[in-house]
Structure 1
Amino acid sequence: MSVRSTDSDSESDFSLIEDDDPVVTTNAVTELTNTTPPHVPYSLPLSPTKEHGEAVVAQNENHQIDALRDTLASNPYQYDKYVTLIQCLREHGCTAELETTRQAMQKHFGLSEDIWLAWLSDRTTQTTGADAKKKLLALYQTAVQDYLSINLWLAYLQAAMETYHTQTSSSEMENDSFLSLQDVRDICDQALLATRYHYPQGYTIFFAVRDFEMEQLLTITEDSADRENRIQRIDDLYQKQLSIPSPRLDDIFTDYSSFITTYRPANYEQIMVDTNRLVAEARIQTDRRERWETQLIESGHDFFTYRKYIHALQTSRTPVAPYEIATLYERAIVVHYLKPELWQSYAGFLFEDSTLRDKFVTVCARSVKNCPWSGQIWADYLRSCEMHPTSVQVDSVTIFEQAMCYFRSSPSLDDLVILCLEKLAQERRGCISTTPTADMQDMLRKSFRHYQGLVRELCQTHDPQFRLELYQIALETTVWQFADYARTLWQEVLHLRPTQVHVWIQYTEFEIRYGTIPTARESLVRALRVALDWPERLFDYSLTFEKLYGNMETAIGMTSKVNSARVAVEIRSQRMMAEQQEIEQQAEIKKERQRQRDRINKKRRRQKDRKQAQVSVTHAVEKRKRSPSEAERPSEASEEGGTLEEGLGNTTLAAKSGSTVVEEHPNPPLEKRPRYNEKRNLSAVDTVPASEDQSGESTANDTATVLVSCLHPSVRETELRDWFESCGPVKKVTLVRDMTGALKGYGYIEFLSPTSVSEALRTKHGQTLAGQTVTVHRYAATEADPRTVFVCNFLASTTSTQLQNLFATVGSVKQVRLPPTRRGKARCFAYIEFSTAADARKAVEQLNNYQWNMAHGALSVALSDPSKRHLPHGRPIPKTKNGRVLHVGNLPKSCTEDELRTLFNSFGTLSDVRLPKGLNLDQAKDFAFVEFRNSEDAERAQSALNGHIFEGQSLSVSVANPEKADASSHDFKGMVSQQSILPVQPSTTVRMTQFAQPVKLARLRQIFGQYGSVQRVHVNKEVSKVFVEYTHVAEATQAVEKLHNRVIDGSRIKVHFAAPKSQETTLTTPHQPATSAHTSVPTVSGMVP
């Protein structure tokens, strides 16, 4: 589910997991500098000067603003248009119109946190005087009503507290004072009530209010009643917060202990004993909430996870505060504000709880701003206003007009009918309050006619379920007892829906109850005469009707009519089947004619291609018979038929590879020309791609070659040759194999003529061969495809749909080519083709090194370059001994690169440390390679450390021998060819592995909190790594030094710095515009503050 604004990109280990919990920042919005002057009349200069260009730009921008105004005037329910207009007005410095536009947008939509903070920032810069500050605080009060936002509440509290401090500290403001201490406390109480049960971040509001109250307490030094009241207020704040589940419960309890020690030492023991009982129960609830919060994070704050979380709180055996459930609803709405069912569930919960019923109308009013297309949401709003008429400033007529303003521009039949039904029910309830008169009945009938006409006018059709008509019929018959008027309505319905069986049956039931049996029988007879959508049901109902209400004569008559109707139905069915068969036959005739035309065209193309091939061979043979001096000059026929290399040289190469293509004798007649040999004797050359021979030089005719991929493992060269023969004469078929001889799922088809390539691309791409869809592309061995990226290092179980969903976040994906997986051989690479080269570059920038699966390693994403396909990546592999590279053996399994660097750094400057990984990428092998800048340092390190005891094991240090490594294994080759691994730089985030299970976040916070202020703690999905973020690098450094290799809870943990921010790539949702969200909560998912 996307939001209307994207959060700023995070560059930490935690940016890859979503969370709706905001990060508390003091400067949440960066003010935009208005450099563009407001729109003023101007005259264009005659010459194209710089001023002329600026004037043209200004004119275009003014035209854009005018167009946006006109669009919103016709349809105000266009969120993105409002956002664009506000941005343009802000750039032009149109302050007055900007304020008006924001107010209009706030009237129709709930504004996101970003938009509110920008509005409040602009208003703050323009605020001077008491009246302006009062209006600013009123705007803050409006801002916090749209969505639950910790940042907005903090900004509101800060603005109120700063205003109060300014008033109390400045003598000039005494006459303009409007904000008292009680007013500030009222705002604090509102903030606490709204955010106290926000589990991840609610404690931040508590700390802000507590600090303010402590400041007020410190202003009174002498004992007095006022001082005691302030101490009691702080005590009450602590007591209330300590009874609520919170991730900072222990910290708050510790602060409370210090507070009691300072201000109530005499009763310290009794107070702490009583409070400890309260905290013990809160700890139990905190553990339960922690499990649900973890599920929310792992599911990416999924809608159904929120529903289960809410249901668990509502059905909990332990009583849960209604405000906690309401706060959880508010958190869900921040993410899933476009879910009408979530708003309806929230409103129903508020209505059922007497303590929260005063919020019922407010929530209904907010819901229509987020889901204006839902008729049920508008109906709930109408009912809430009818139930609490004094709680709203608008009446039902105004609300209905607001709804119609939306439906006139975007009509929806079902939603419009639901809204009209609720409005009619409201008008009917108004008549019930008094004795209904004929005038009231006529007024209601006019309303029915009006709304029925309204539905037909806006939707250009009738309601197929005729719900408004049925409601009026039920009202006429059941309440007012006007069966004759209801019968007239039934006739209108039957006229509109004459073929629907259920309509006739309902009308018959009406006549049975309010009319006569003969009239009901007559309606059934009428129905039997027309073509119906479900005739068998009507037949059965008619016979059952006679069994209940008829006699012998009527039963025989009805049976006869039913049989006649059955015959008529069979005749109609046979006629329709004959017509359908005629249509299918005509279609088949057209297809056969098209197939005949295709065969004729194919035959003509084949004859043309063969003729061209014969001419090419003839010219080549003649050229060989010339003298050496004549051979140097290309003949005119050679220029027409192709070069010597294309005409003769390729034939020779094909013969070498075992593909019999053309013979070097005079051309036989076409009808006696032998068919290309299908049973070729394939040699080892076929295992080499067409782009390379044994010498590494290109031998393929690039203009006549296609690359076919996604082949089934069972496909062989002969089958491919037969499949592509329909496109033109095939010169060579090459299926690429690996070192073991197994097929790799792709190959090359080289035609005799380049014209056959276009036919192959047109007729074979995307077709099915051996039960699998193959892809065909023009082969270009020396040119990179700027729109295609090569991705590897993902799980073998990954599907093309998963890859498409991942790469669609950065651009428009045109195709995903994932080679098939063979039994026992995992295939972990794919090609992603984008619509534009810009999207491909964006994918490389954002998804290269992306930790899609942290247990499997980072993705490798690069632009596809066929010319480098067979070249090794990274530095060249040395084939002789290099005195600068040492092989270090017999290492402990728990050894890390940082430990090796520390061990070898004392002997000289290191260039690289390479620690190979095993099948489990989280565990290293028992050997490594250490590379120095010069061989002298490497020699000293070898002499000193060979046999050195390291973590209980004797190291084996020697000069690395690549030739020996090649003969025995590929470890050294693989490691030397890798790109240099940058050393992990100190950062605010550390990573812990090899810890005891199960993991408890409270225990982790206790361990790491000894060395600094822990901001966030995250456990990855596989529960194999823990990431801890500190406020400062020095705190993280101390944690690494103190905790690394320590035994905690029975396990020796490993603590290192996490990857530096410059190497992190954050995955956001770029397909959503930054201004299209309801929420701008900065998310750092997976973090539990």
Structure 2
Amino acid sequence: MLLWLSCRGNHHSPAKLPFFLSISAYDYNCHVDLIKLLRQEGELEKLQSARQKMSELFPLTEELWLDWLKDEIRMAEEPHDREKIYELFERAIKDYICPEIWLEYAQYSIGGIGLQGGIERARGIFDRALTAVGLHMTKGLAIWEAFREFENAILGTLQPLPGTILTSEQQEMMKTQLDRVHALFKRQLTIPLLDMESTYAEYEAWADEVPNESVIQLYKKALEQMEKRKPFEEALLVADPPKLAEFQTYIDFEMKAGDPARIQITFERALSENCLVPDLWARYTQYLDRQLKIKDLVLSTHERAVRNCPWIVGLWNRYLLAQERHQAEHKVITDTFEKALNAGFIQATDYVELWQAFLDYLRRRVNFSQDSSKELEELRSAYSRGVDYLKQDIEQRFSESGDPSCTILQNWARVEARLCKNMQKARELWDRIMSKGNAKYANMWLEYFNLERAHGDPQHCRKALHRAVQCTTDYPEHVCEVLLTFERVEGSLEDWDLAVEKTESRLNQVNEWRAKAAEKEALLTKQEEEKNMQRRKAKSEKKAAKKAQKQAVPGEKRKADKEDWEAKLDKPNKKPRHGEQEETEEVLSAECGLFGRESNIKTVETPAQQKQKAVAATRNKVLHDNSKDDLTVFVSNLAYSMPSPEERMKEIFESFGQIIDIRPVYSNRGHFRGYCYVEFKEKAAAANALTVDRRELEGRPMFVSPCVDKAKNPEFKVFKYSTSLEKHKIFISGLPFSCTREDLEEICKEHGNLKEIRLVTNRSGKPKGLAYVEFENETQASQAVLKLDGTVVKDHTIRVAISNPPQRKQATNVEAGRALGSLLPRQLYGARGKGRTQLSLVPRALQRLPASGTNTENGTVSSQDGNSKGDSSLAAETKKMTNADFAKMLLKK
């Protein structure tokens, strides 16, 4: 299906169409172009075959169906051909709800009224058409009018000839037909359609009387409904295709109105132009599942959803659930699952979701009160097949398992332990899980321990915890605590002594590893800082030499200084690095001497420059005296639009002590640059003022830091939060931007006593979806990580880890982390995982398996003797092949 999407923009020459279709049957445009070509050349048999093949792979558009139906109608000669056309119409109306196809179907059925039962058949098709598209605001009118003309035509055949007296039977038939036409008019007038007024006038003229009061009331009500929907119809009329946003707004309106029929027709109209939007199908099927619950409608819509978007695993899972909910046959559900396996999902995890949904269905079929049954054996066989399928097929296709935590094996073990009472089988399955690289994770051992605790015996619980203490590398403290807690309740004195000995030995070993890792980390950091110092020193020397060269020419000195200073002030606010002060603050602190000292070199100023200097003299004051660093704080990240920075800063800082001076920073044009110095009379006041650092001011955090020249004190760091490992603090990512401090407190408080919660924002004060939560001790933080990691908060899956921000610009740290391997906690050497692009751009039809004599590994081709062919050898072989050779290879000639 990915190939279908990627090829819709491709066009092929007519002569090559069969060749391309022989390579890939999922090239949508190839099918369309081939059908057009065969229709032009009049190749009727080949045309029928091409249309049939395409309809089996894809739902056809309205235009393709109408062309096919009209061609078949023209070619129909024998009476039995009519039935084939009826079958073709039935297939056409299942792909999309199209008024034009229904109208064509109904009109075609009129041609068969001369046959036995033809009138009733045509009437039934018209009734179905009204149910399907009669509520269509703009196109439904044509169906109603065609139906009334059909019934009026039948009424005309029942009219008596002049001078003829009708029998009682004829009179009854006449009355019945009149009632049918009256009923059609009344039904139509109760439905909001465009141009309703004309229909009402036509009814008055036809009936030759004023409609009764009930019909008038229903008509007025429908007219009001039509007026409410007219703005939505007008928006659709002027919008460009595919009009998704307009349809979404229309659907929201109908959902609030609550009329199921109108909701259904609006969804159908939207899907006819947005058939490749999975979210729209998901919303429609969810509405049908929860509200209408009509079996035929629900299942047919689910089937259409997966035909249009087969690459979306969520649609297949909902389809399986709907079939089970409506008690479809077991074979039907199994066939649907097999089709889903061949749908071509775009990532490995999709196959895991599909297998889980199918295995859940099989588990619900089993009666576990019996020791053995056909359904139980089928469930076990499916579990085994699913595990093998993910290991062989999926790992080979995506180069990853898609199920690293072995969720399918875990569920299988739980079923065996809890439902089948077969702990021996469950233990074997957990051994397989641990052998797949999961033995180093504490949460995996605790899952196994909880299973043994609930369905096993104390001896196996103790054995599992002892193994966990020896193997766990991410949270060994937590595992040790669980073992000691278990022995307090279950163990003897010998068991307790052994547990204490093992935990102490393990924790000492872990601490040694961490100390070595920290030493190596510190050494690498120091080396990198020394390199940075050398680079800064060289840059400073180069800059000093350049200035000295410029000062040699008196007339250019002032111009050069002015350009340098303006360039620095005109830099946009730069986001400070993690654990570092803003770069602009460093520049201002280093350059403040430019304003505090007079130049020894006399320069000649023009009258215009003197006037400009006089105007700006009130703002271009001396920024800072380095001798008053301990009395001054530097305030940054303020809004440029702040009208009176001096007064605003005075309001904030006057409560800390007497203020001597407030010096905002302005550009040469007099624009506030978002920075200022606040000088106090006493040192204590300046120190207390630092407590308002990161306070929100006019919607953005205000940074307050001491005045320190970082050029002279490179080791000084102003960042107020720790940038090293903090075992009592957790780091949460993936939070919704609407999450508040109160929401986070509600989530975390049940896992321990909270000391501090900090939501991370950017410089403008907007949330970044990150937070730090500090607990009283390490145990509570570890418990919170195990319980909260992977949970869902407001439709967002969050990730939780122990707080340990990574070092910046430490290129060699990655190599150090790899060298230490599993001896380090995962948080010590980088992020918790890496992103991977899951979308394969290679068409599935070209993803041929290698020949039996070769093996592919990591993008190379290996022969049976293990020798691999690199890219250069493959390229050399490819260059030698001609187009004809390539075609023969694909066609396997």
Q: TM-score range by the shorter chain?
A: 0.5 to 0.7
Change (3 A) 1:438 1:401: closer
Give the match for residue 21 of structure 2: 68
CA contact (8 A) 1:213 1:230 kept: yes
* Equivalent position amino acid for 2:338 in 1: E
Q: 1:475 aligns with which of 415, 422, 425?
A: 415
Change (3 A) 1:550 1:712: same
Distance (Å, rounded) in 2 between the aligned partners of 1:441 and 1:300: 46
Aligned residues: 547
Distance (Å, rounded) in 2 between the aligned partners of 1:549 and 1:136: 77
Give the match for residue 150 of structure 2: 212
Q: 1:245 aligns with which of 180, 192, 198?
A: 192
Is 1:143 the equivalent of 2:92? yes
Q: Deviations over 1:665-706 (max 9, x none)?
A: xxxxx999959936569xxxxxxxxxxxxxxxxxxxxxxxxx
* Equivalent position amino acid for 2:207 in 1: I
| Alignment map for 1:414-563 (pairs within 5 Å) | 414-432=349-367, 437=372, 441-460=376-395, 461-462=400-401, 463-496=403-436, 497-535=438-476, 537-539=478-480, 541-546=482-487, 548-550=489-491, 558=499, 561-562=502-503
Q: Which runs of 5+ in 1 are unaligned?
A: 6-56, 169-176, 315-319, 607-669, 682-707, 715-740, 742-769, 772-821, 825-1089
Shift of 1:510: 1.0
Change (3 A) 1:498 1:144: same
Q: Deviations over 1:708-748 (max 9, x none)?
A: 9xx9999xxxxxxxxxxxxxxxxxxxxxxxxxx9xxxxxxx
Change (3 A) 1:87 1:69: farther
CA contact (8 A) 2:244 2:270 kept: no
Query: Alignment partner of 1:532: what SS?
Result: coil
Give the match for residue 338 of structure 2: 401
Shift of 1:452: 0.9
Shift of 1:287: 4.8
Query: Alignment partner of 1:245: what SS?
Result: coil
Is 1:154 the equivalent of 2:103? yes
Give the match for residue 195 of structure 1: 133
Q: Deviations over 1:146-169 (max 9, x none)?
A: 1122232233334434x34xx76x
Is 1:274 the equivalent of 2:214? yes
Distance (Å, rounded) in 2 between the aligned partners of 1:713 and 1:478: 62
Q: 1:255 aligns with which of 180, 202, 213?
A: 202
* Equivalent position amino acid for 1:197 in 2: L
Shift of 1:495: 1.8
Distance (Å, rounded) in 2 between the aligned partners of 1:119 and 1:587: 72
Give the match for residue 317 of structure 1: none
Is 1:115 the equivalent of 2:64? yes
Distance (Å, rounded) in 1 between the aligned partners of 2:543 and 2:32: 57
Distance (Å, rounded) in 1 between the aligned partners of 2:420 and 2:572: 77
Distance (Å, rounded) in 2 between the aligned partners of 1:253 and 1:517: 83
Change (3 A) 1:672 1:390: closer
Distance (Å, rounded) in 1 between the aligned partners of 2:540 and 2:21: 57
CA contact (8 A) 2:103 2:143 kept: yes
Query: Alignment partner of 2:101: what SS?
Result: helix
Distance (Å, rounded) in 1 between the aligned partners of 2:519 and 2:66: 69
Is 1:99 the equivalent of 2:99? no
Change (3 A) 1:590 1:145: farther
CA contact (8 A) 1:245 1:283 kept: yes
Change (3 A) 1:677 1:70: same
* Equivalent position amino acid for 2:253 in 1: Y
Give the match for residue 375 of structure 1: 313
Change (3 A) 1:566 1:79: farther
Query: Alignment partner of 1:406: what SS?
Result: coil
Distance (Å, rounded) in 2 between the aligned partners of 1:672 and 1:239: 97
Shift of 1:482: 0.8
Change (3 A) 1:218 1:70: same
Deviates more, 1:465-474 or 1:351-360: 351-360
CA contact (8 A) 2:550 2:557 kept: no
CA contact (8 A) 1:351 1:357 kept: no
Distance (Å, rounded) in 2 between the aligned partners of 1:116 and 1:487: 58
Shift of 1:575: 4.0
Shift of 1:89: 4.9
Q: Deviations over 1:438-467 (max 9, x none)?
A: 676445323211111112222204413423
Shift of 1:192: 0.4
Distance (Å, rounded) in 1 between the aligned partners of 2:307 and 2:451: 42
Change (3 A) 1:308 1:89: same
Give the match for residue 744 of structure 1: none
| Alignment map for 1:127-142 (pairs within 5 Å) | 127-142=76-91
* Equivalent position amino acid for 2:265 in 1: T
CA contact (8 A) 1:306 1:332 kept: no
Shift of 1:295: 8.1
Which structure is higher in helix share? 2
Q: Which runs of 5+ in 2 are unaligned?
A: 6-10, 161-165, 561-566, 574-611, 613-636, 639-668, 672-893
Change (3 A) 1:575 1:370: farther
* Equivalent position amino acid for 2:479 in 1: L
| Alignment map for 1:832-847 (pairs within 5 Å) | none
* Equivalent position amino acid for 2:252 in 1: K
CA contact (8 A) 2:453 2:461 kept: yes
Give the match for residue 309 of structure 1: 253
Give the match for residue 754 of structure 1: none
* Equivalent position amino acid for 1:248 in 2: D
CA contact (8 A) 1:295 1:305 kept: no
CA contact (8 A) 2:14 2:34 kept: no
Give identity over the alignment, percent: 24
| Alignment map for 1:562-641 (pairs within 5 Å) | 562=503, 564-580=505-521
Distance (Å, rounded) in 1 between the aligned partners of 2:524 and 2:342: 47
Shift of 1:240: 1.8
Change (3 A) 1:228 1:136: same
- The normalised TM-score by structure 1 is 0.44
Shift of 1:592: 9.2
Shift of 1:551: 6.4
CA contact (8 A) 1:476 1:486 kept: yes
Shift of 1:377: 2.5
Distance (Å, rounded) in 2 between the aligned partners of 1:493 and 1:464: 9
Shift of 1:332: 3.6
Distance (Å, rounded) in 1 between the aligned partners of 2:415 and 2:216: 63
Is 1:182 the equivalent of 2:120? yes
* Equivalent position amino acid for 1:512 in 2: R
Change (3 A) 1:295 1:92: closer
Query: Alignment partner of 1:476: what SS?
Result: helix
Shift of 1:506: 0.9
Give the match for residue 677 of structure 1: 556
Distance (Å, rounded) in 2 between the aligned partners of 1:425 and 1:324: 35
| Alignment map for 1:964-1003 (pairs within 5 Å) | none
* Equivalent position amino acid for 1:112 in 2: T
Give the match for residue 645 of structure 1: none
Deviates more, 1:548-557 or 1:126-135: 548-557
Change (3 A) 1:359 1:443: closer
Q: Deviations over 1:599-618 (max 9, x none)?
A: 99999xx9xxxxxxxxxxxx
Give the match for residue 763 of structure 2: none
Shift of 1:301: 3.1
Query: Alignment partner of 1:337: what SS?
Result: coil
Q: Deviations over 1:856-901 (max 9, x none)?
A: xxxxxxxxxxxxxxxxxxxxxxxxxxxxxxxxxxxxxxxxxxxxxx
